[in-house]
Amino acid sequence: MKIYISYLSHEVTEQDLFKTLEYYGQVESVMMRKERSRKGSKMTAIVEMPDRAEAELVILSLNGKNLKGKPIKVGFSLSGSKGHREHGQKGGSRRSAGDKVGGTRSGKRNF
């Protein structure tokens, strides 16, 4: 099971996460990355755990808890999503070929 962790402090390392999560069960891998946005950068992680029950325990136990002084958000990762996307977070809207985008079908924009 893949777990998505967001709002990590920049002080948290992969080893810190591994040690914290290992308390709840077997951890296969931890991959951290810095995501950039208009508001700056934030640290996120994808953690793989082979046992669903252990992964659920991690989510129930750690979601909203402080790790190195900052509350983290923990949930199941959406498999097959582009990049790191948190469970329940809405992505872009889905459109069909005939949908209007920014105006009319003729390509003129309505402002």
- Domain limits of the chain? 2-76
Q: What tokens appear for 54 in the block? A: 């252990």
CATH superfamily of 2-76: RRM (RNA recognition motif) domain (3.30.70.330)
Residue 87: pLDDT over 80: no
Could you give the C-alpha distances from 79 to 3, 18, 70, in angstroms and in order? 10, 21, 26
Among the listed residues 19, 25, 74, 72, the one whose alpha carbon sits nearest the alpha carbon of residue 53 = 25
Closest CA to 84 of 48, 57, 46: 46
| Rounded-to-integer distance, Cα 19 and Cα 15, Å | 6
pLDDT tens digits along 6-20: 999 999 999 999 999
Mean of per-residue pLDDT scores for the chain: 79
